[in-house]
């Protein structure tokens, strides 16, 4: 992969659902669901114009569910091993199939997904889906496997001999039996996982002996490795352009190297994104073929602390510089399906207060950026959908719809907020200095500046091919007036000449203004509350 990409993550089950008043904890029949067909040419063009290059469809693969959905052939799964009525998208039931309820025609469900991929490509969007290699549903059984490799089977699990599996769900009549018990997906090697464990899943065996100090048996290559290669080739052959790999670091890096070497030979443009949380493993997984890594424990956590008032913008400097030469391989975000909505009462309490963090996340460097559906229209995640409690997240376990999205389809939404997101994403993608340029952190040069509120402001510059873009982000709920200091080192570092009476352009307003580019003359500026000032200078 080369260059910055902008990913739009969407959960079709919810984002396409038009039911106006869903009932918490209820079925597909009552609460409805979104479909592949909801992603029309027009809808996809809007996502493209928002500034996105890729679209990540979350929850595409068939997974365990308590809902019968479309057909008598869709047999509901036992409730004691399904989270929620809809079920978790990460409890995969068939790696070669799609969720039945997402199709209009049950018998053509895979074909309907292929048609969606074509619509995305026609709109100029590349397609990403989830790959969940660490674990599967306890009732995994493929009926779509083309037969080139054997199905996931009994030799691919970890067993607890002589033990019966016991679900932690106690308020229902248990109809599911598992003997001997198998280890649970989150490395829980006990027959009675808790409600906090991934009790609906079973761990897959890649040749690591967890009962013997993690001894690895990779020679010969475990059969599971080639089964997983076949799954990636299957979906790549249907036009999928990339894979967000769930809990990648719970699967040995040697496997990832084996898989990516094989599949990128046939599909060299594939993008692999690792959900990963251990910085000590970052380089190992990049060397194993991943193109992008989650920057959750770094920039995301730092920005959320700033929004909550638990830290100041100065902490951004230490955070981004700690990654060194792998910074450009990170995927930045302010929301995704695992995290609380930035506009929720648990984080910023208002949609506007997420904009400064988004500006830093999308503009600070050449890292790619992820936007979660609804973030651009201020979705707050303040629903109690059923299995998912009131936790500031949009449920991945329930059939549900979002009032904000239904209003958006009617043209009722915060246009100003939406346009600011659109502006930030398009600047990130289309300004060459942002997409390709180096970063110069201006914060250190303004820490002692009496006319600069470093407890609320963060500033930096980007430079490429004689274009300089200055960016000042305002985390305050008030407009900030400032005088920005540009240090002498800025000029020597980029070999830029000091010049008087230069013409700058404000990229948000389009207004032009004249000012000196000099370490002795500060730039007098104003940055509106919860937003960003971005201005450009093209050197002659």
CA distance 132 to 292: 16
103, two tokens: 């199709």
Q: What is the pLDDT of residue 172?
A: 80
Vertex 374 angle, CA 372 and 376, to 5°: 90
CA–CA separation, 446 and 453 (whole Å): 9
Of 81, 91, 86, nearest in space to 175 by CA? 81
Question: Diameter of the chain by CA atoms?
Answer: 82
State the Cα–Cα distance between residues 245 and 92, nearest whole angstrom: 13
With beta carbons less than 8 A apart as the criterion, state whether 78 and 175 touch: yes
pLDDT at 431: 97
The pairing of beta strand 499-506 with beta strand 242-245: unpaired
Please give the Cα distance from 354 to 349 (Å, whole number): 9
Which pTM does this prediction carry? Answer: 0.97
Identify the segments of the chain with pLDDT beneath 50: none
What is the structure's pLDDT at 536?
97
Rg (CA), the chain: 25
DSSP β-ladder status, 126-131 and 54-57? parallel
468-496 in b/e form (b: 16+ CB < 10 A) is bbbbbbbbbeeebebebbbeeebeeeeeb
Between CA 454 and CA 314 the distance in angstroms is 7
**Half-sphere exposure of residue 496, counting CA atoms within 13 Å on the CB side?**
27
Buried b (16+ CB within 10 A) or exposed e, 203-236: bbbbbbeeeeeeeeeeeeebbbbbbbbbbbbbbb
pLDDT for residue 70? 59
Question: What sign does the dihedral 15-16-20-26 (CA atoms) show?
Answer: negative
Strands 292-294, 330-333: parallel, antiparallel or unpaired by DSSP? parallel
Tokens of 124: 């100029």
Dihedrals phi, psi of 251, to nearest 5 degrees: -115, 135
Give the pLDDT of residue 72.
Answer: 60
Using alpha carbons only, what angle is made at residue 268 by residues 244 and 249, rounded to the nearest 5 degrees?
35
Listing DSSP states for 385-399 in one string gives: -SSS-SSSS--SSS-
Q: What would the DSSP string read from start to end of 74-143?
A: SPPPPGGG-STTT--TTSEEEEEEE-GGG-SSGGGHHHHHHHHHHHHHHTT-EEEEEE--SEEETT---S
Closest listed residue to residue 285, CA positions, set 313, 319, 320, 247: 247
Can you say how many angstroms the Cα of residue 228 is from the centroid of all Cα atoms in its chain? 22
Distance between start and end Cα atoms, the chain: 32
**Predicted pLDDT of residue 321:** 86
Tokens of 19: 């039911």
């Amino acid at each position: 992969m080369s260059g910055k990409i902008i990913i739009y993550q969407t959960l079709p089950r919810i984002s396409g659902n038009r039911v106006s008043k869903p009932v918490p904890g209820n079925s597909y029949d009552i609460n409805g669901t979104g479909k592949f067909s909801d992603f029309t040419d027009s809808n996809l063009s809007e996502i493209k114009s928002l500034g996105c290059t890729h679209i990540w469809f979350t929850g595409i693969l068939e997974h365990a569910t308590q809902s019968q959905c479309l057909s008598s052939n869709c047999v509901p799964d036992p409730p004691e091993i399904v989270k929620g009525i809809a079920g978790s998208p990460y409890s995969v039931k068939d790696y070669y199939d799609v969720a039945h309820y997402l199709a209009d025609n049950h018998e053509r469900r895979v074909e309907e997904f292929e048609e969606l991929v074509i619509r995305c490509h026609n709109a100029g969007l590349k397609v990403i889906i989830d790959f969940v290699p660490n674990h599967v549903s306890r009732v995994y059984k493929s009926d779509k496997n083309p037969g080139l490799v054997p199905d996931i089977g009994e030799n691919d699990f970890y067993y607890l001999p002589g033990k019966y599996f016991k679900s932690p769900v106690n308020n229902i009549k248990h109809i599911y039996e598992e003997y001997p018990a198998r280890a649970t997906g989150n490395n829980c090697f006990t027959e009675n996982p808790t409600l906090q464990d991934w009790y609906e899943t079973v761990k897959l065996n890649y040749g690591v002996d967890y009962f013997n100090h993690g001894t690895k048996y990779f020679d010969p290559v475990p059969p599971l490795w080639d089964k997983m290669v076949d799954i990636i080739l299957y979906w790549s052959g249907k036009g999928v352009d990339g894979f967000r790999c769930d809990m990648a670091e719970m699967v040995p890096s040697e496997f990832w190297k084996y898989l990516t070497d094989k599949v990128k030979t046939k599909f060299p443009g594939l993008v692999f994104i690792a959900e990963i949380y251990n910085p000590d493993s970052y380089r190992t997984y990049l060397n194993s073929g991943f193109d992008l890594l989650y920057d959750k424990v770094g920039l995301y956590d730092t920005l959320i602390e700033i929004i909550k008032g638990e830290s100041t913008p100065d902490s951004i400097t230490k955070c981004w510089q700690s990654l060194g030469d792998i910074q450009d391989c990170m995927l930045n975000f302010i929301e995704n399906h695992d995290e609380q909505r930035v506009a929720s009462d648990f984080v910023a309490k208002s949609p506007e207060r997420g904009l400064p963090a988004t500006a830093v996340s999308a503009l600070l460097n050449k890292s790619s950026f992820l936007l979660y559906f609804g973030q651009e229209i201020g979705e707050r995640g303040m629903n109690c959908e059923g299995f998912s409690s009131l936790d500031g997240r949009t449920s991945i376990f329930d059939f549900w719809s979002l009032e904000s999205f239904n209003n958006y389809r009617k043209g009722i939404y915060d246009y100003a907020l939406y346009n600011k997101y659109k502006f930030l994403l398009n600047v990130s993608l289309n300004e060459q200095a942002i997409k390709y340029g180096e970063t110069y952190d201006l914060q250190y040069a303004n820490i002692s500046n009496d006319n600069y509120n470093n407890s609320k402001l963060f500033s930096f510059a980007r430079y490429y091919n004689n274009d300089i873009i200055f960016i000042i982000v305002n985390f305050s709920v008030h407009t900030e007036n400032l005088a920005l200091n540009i240090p002498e080192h800025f000029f020597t570092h980029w070999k830029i000449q000091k010049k008087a009476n230069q013409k700058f352009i404000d990229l948000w307003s389009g207004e032009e203004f004249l000012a000196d580019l000099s370490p002795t003359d500060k730039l007098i500026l104003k940055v509106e509350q919860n937003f960003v000032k971005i201005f450009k200078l093209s050197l002659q």
